Amino acid sequence: MGRDDRRDPIQWAAENGRDLYDVATWESRSRLDGFAVSLYGAILAGGRALVITVAFLIVAGQAVITGIVTLQDPLVGLYILLSIVPALLLAAALWRSDVVVREPIDKLAITFLLGFLFAGFAAPLNSAFQSAFFALGGFGAVLFFFLIVGPVEETVKLLAVRLHAYRSAEFDAVIDGAIYGAMAGLGFAAIENTLYITQNYVQMTGAGAAQLGSSTFQTAAIRTFAGPGHVIYSAFAGYYLGLAKFNPRNRGPIVVKGLVIAAVIHATYNVLVSNLGLVTSFVPVLSGLPPTLAFIGFVIAFDGFFFTILYAKLRRYKQVFHDVGAESFYEEGPAVSGTEPDAVEEPPAEDATAADVEIPLEEQDAEAASMAESGDHGDADTEEEVAETEEGGAPSSSEGDDETEESGAPSSSEGEDETESAGADDQNGHDER
């Protein structure tokens, strides 16, 4: 066996069954151990609860405003719901493309809700740095999108996956990360669309009814096509979170890679949309369109390009899944839990003696019991043979005085010697057994 960096040298060298508790291994045994386990679990649970509570409080204020606006004008609520439909359809398509076991609806719903809540962290952070970067002009705006908006928003969406779904047994394949990432992106898009549409309605309340309705509808249309981008970006980050789960030695760099990919795509979108007039001037198809239609055309092209890359990645996973016969993983189950992948048992050498081959204790006990039972039968057979020999010896000595005199005592003694010899052989055989 080679060196295993996941184990202490004592663990590597110690014999099986040796107690290494509090030396090189640890498990909960004492009351102090149990207290430590309980306290650690409480800290984790409390931390998660605190994060969710803070996110809920941040979003709650906006939810109240949205509720009031919707009661005043139900059309705003309809716009909000319709603006989420394209992102929802995209997330559903990714869910159906899962080549493994489709993720349960309850886990997807919780991930959606966490993505919805954690979006509340992004707005204050973005606002805190926006003025400082925008003071630097156009270049500052580019830095703002690449250093703040992209990383912050993709991180909070990934946190929505990491906090719950990632820790569940249902998250049992790399591709699951993309599915849950997409659901977190859907939740983020839902709250972002709600905020934009509601804020626009409140700001335009003083205008006429016609202008208010037109502006709100235009904002809703823009957000309808902007939402699917969040699903795509966070699906990339989620895929690498899944890859990190099954490659724990490189978990950190893999997660960072996924976040960088998602944040760069996200920031690139923001920069291009912020300079859409300049972008469309280089694209003849879009240059002659009204701004809203040009925006929709650009978003379809941009999101379509990166969705194609994401879909190709998922197709590659699906192809390899079938090529290696990974379906049997769910039919037969994985290898025995706790087995070290590199701890391969080597067969004994061909010229090894019986003493060189190590027999498990269970087999030794079974063999000993079998030999004991065989030994009892052997003793019984030996006694029967002796009895038969003695019975057969009497007629031999009484067949006639002539025979007895000619053969004499030697005949009887030879029979006794043979009987004793047979008994000794049987006894030796019993000892050998």
Beta pairing partners, 21:
25
Helix (H) or strand (E) holding 316: helix 291-323
Task: Note the pLDDT of residue 286.
Answer: 84
The distance in angstroms from the start CA to the end CA of the chain is 36
| In contact, 423 and 378? CB cutoff 8 Å | no
Q: What are the Cα distances from residue 152, in Å, to 246, 264, 388, 432?
A: 25, 12, 98, 78
Give the separation between CA 39 and CA 53, rounded to whole angstroms.
Answer: 20
**Contact of 176 with 162, CB cutoff 8 Å:** no
Q: What is the pLDDT of residue 333?
A: 54
| Ranges 96-100, 275-279, 336-340, most confident | 275-279
> Quick one: average pLDDT of 37-51?
91
Q: Residue 90: pLDDT band by 50, 70, 90 thresholds?
A: very high
Helices (H), 135-173: 138-144, 150-162
Q: When comparing pLDDT for 41 and 341, which is higher? A: 41
What is the per-residue pLDDT for 102? 86
Q: pLDDT value at position 367? A: 53
Beta bridge partners of 25: 21
Q: Reduced to 3 states, what is the DSSP secondary structure of residue 87?
A: helix
More confident residue, 370 or 200: 200
Q: What mean pLDDT do residues 156-183 have?
A: 95
pLDDT at 223 over 70: yes
Question: Which strand (E) or helix (H) includes residue 342?
Answer: none
Cβ atoms within 10 Å, residue 375: 14
Return the structure tokens found at 28: 């909960």
pLDDT tens, position by position, 242-279: 999 999 999 999 999 999 999 999 999 999 999 998 88
* Average pLDDT score over the chain: 80
Q: In this model, does residue 362 exceed pLDDT 70?
A: no
d(CA 178, CA 37): 32
Q: Band the pLDDT of 5: cuts 50, 70, 90.
A: low
Is the model's pLDDT at 289 over the cut of 60?
A: yes
Rounded percentage of the chain residues whose pLDDT exceeds 90: 48
**Over 80: is that where the pLDDT of 2 sits?**
no
Residue 399 DSSP symbol: S
Q: pLDDT at residue 428 above 50?
A: no
The values of phi and psi at residue 357, to 5°, are: -85, 120
Residue predicted with more confidence, 236 or 349: 236
C-alpha–C-alpha distance, residues 80 and 66, integer Å: 10
The confidence score (pLDDT) of residue 377 equals 47
Quote the pLDDT of residue 255. 97
What is the tens place of the pLDDT at every residue in 129-144? Answer: 999 999 999 899 999 9
Burial of 362 (0-12, 13-18, 19+ CB in 10 A): exposed
Checking if the pLDDT of 398 tops 60, the result is no
In sequence order, the 6+-apart residues with CB closer than 8 A to the CB of 48 are: 163
- Does the predicted TM-score (pTM) go above 0.75? no
**Does the structure show a pLDDT above 90 at 399?**
no
What's the pLDDT at 14?
87
Whole-number pLDDT of residue 327? 81
Amino acid residing at 24: A
Residues 6+ apart with CB under 8 A from 117: 52, 55, 56, 59, 160, 187, 191
pLDDT of residue 101: 83
Question: Would you state the pLDDT for residue 250?
Answer: 94
Say if residues 133 and 267 touch (Cβ distance below 8 Å): no
pLDDT of residue 30: 94
* 177 or 397: which leads in pLDDT: 177
The more confident residue out of 108 and 7 is: 108
**Residues 97-127: b if buried by 16+ CB within 10 A, e if exposed:** bbbbeebeeebbebbbbbbbbbbbbbbebee
